[in-house]
Amino acid sequence: MNEPLLRARGLTRRFGGLVAVDSVTIDVADGEVHGLIGPNGAGKTTLVNMLTGVDRIDDGSVHFAGEETTGLSSHKLASRGIARSFQTSQLFEDEDVLANVMAGRHRHLRYRFPNNVLFTPRTSREEKASLARCAELLETLQLADVAHRHVGELSYGRRRLVEIARALATEPRLLVLDEPAAGLSGADVDLLEAVLRDLSAAAYTILIIEHNIGLVMGICDRVTVLAEGAVLAQGPPAEVRVMPEVITAYLGRSAA
């Protein structure tokens, strides 16, 4: 069997007395869309923060693309090809949409200091290529018409799409999305689903936290269910959704 792209073993994160993530083991295979679901406060965001270097890892290990990456900082993981969006959007507020997305090209611009301070032909060439790629991404995410609008002026749904565009601009090997559909209108959810399908078809690997079960069932190859920090179930969505313990976790103990 192939080595999974992302392999996490026994990940644990404690906040004081609370064990937010409790020795979680999760594999994300190359090319799969992996759903991470679970009730509020289950530890999904915390787990993803650990996988992307945003939060500390108290225990356990992470391997990405065959190399150990436990405890690497966020920017190092990003340069190795992990990009993400945040549950509460983290955009560069004082900039326009295009500048936000162009920033995502950071790791692909190879020119050095002198080319930065004296805009040379090489700078111009690489910037043009970057711009072309970002234009493409904006078209894909239907953001081209607002390219020069400040992100603060955009609707909530479009802000989420800008964040995804910025993550995609890094050409990630693993795209991590934290509730991208939360708060989106029906049309925007459809657009998001279409985009994710296309990415999946283009062999992108995606780890997605999502509460919208319809979306999860529609696009995920496998899901991991988290409850109270621990893995409750793992497998194809159709199998997982009918497991009694999953139903219990979602409906609450009293309903069981």
Ligand X SMILES: Nc1ncnc2c1ncn2[C@@H]1O[C@H](COP(=O)(O)OP(=O)(O)OP(=O)(O)O)[C@@H](O)[C@H]1O
74: phi then psi, degrees, rounded to nearest 5: -55, -45
Q: What number of other Cβ atoms are within 10 A of residue 248's Cβ?
A: 15
In sequence order, what are the residues at sequence separation of 6 or more whose Cβ sits closer than 8 angstroms to the Cβ of residue 244? none
According to DSSP, residue 214 is labeled H
Tell me if 91 contacts other proteins by CB under 8 A.
yes
Q: Which is nearer to other proteins, 124 or 155 (CB)?
A: 124
Query: Residue 207's beta-bridge partner residues?
Result: 34, 176
Q: Which is nearer to other proteins, 179 or 204 (CB)?
A: 204
9 by Cβ neighbours in 10 Å (0-12 / 13-18 / 19+) ranks as middle
Distances (CA, A) of 18 to 22, 46, 47, 228: 10, 12, 14, 10
CB of 231 to Mg ion, least distance (A): 16
Binds Mg ion (CB under 5 A): choice among 12, 61, 74, 87: 87
How many residues bind Mg ion (CB under 5 A)? The answer is: 2
Q: Scanning residues 82 to 101, which ones bind ligand X (CB under 6 A)? A: 87
Tell me if 52 contacts Mg ion by CB under 5 A.
no
Q: Which is nearer to Mg ion, 31 or 39 (CB)?
A: 39
Tokens 């500390």 sit on residue: 56
Tell me if 45 contacts Mg ion by CB under 5 A.
yes
* Beta pairing, strands 33-37 & 222-227: parallel
Cα-to-chain-centroid distance, residue 221: 16
Tokens 């043009």 sit on residue: 128
How many residues bind ligand X (CB under 6 A)? The answer is: 12
How far apart (Å, rounded) are the C-alpha atoms in residues 160 and 87? 9
Tell me if 238 contacts other proteins by CB under 8 A.
no
Stretch that binds Mg ion, among 66-74, 79-87, 145-153, 196-204 (CB under 5 A): 79-87
How far apart (Å, rounded) are the C-alpha atoms in residues 28 and 45? 16
Binds other proteins (CB under 8 A): choice among 10, 15, 79, 156: 79
The counts of H helices and E strands in the chain are 10, 10
Tell me if 234 contacts Mg ion by CB under 5 A.
no
Stretch that binds ligand X, among 33-41, 111-119, 162-170, 214-222 (CB under 6 A): 33-41
In 3D, which of 167, 142, 150 has the Cα closest to residue 97? 150
Binds other proteins (CB under 8 A): choice among 3, 15, 56, 129: 129
Tell me if 15 contacts ligand X by CB under 6 A.
yes
Tell me if 38 contacts ligand X by CB under 6 A.
yes
Stretch that binds Mg ion, among 80-88, 94-102, 168-176, 218-226 (CB under 5 A): 80-88
Q: Which is nearer to Mg ion, 37 or 97 (CB)?
A: 37
Stretch that binds other proteins, among 11-19, 76-84, 210-218, 237-245 (CB under 8 A): 76-84
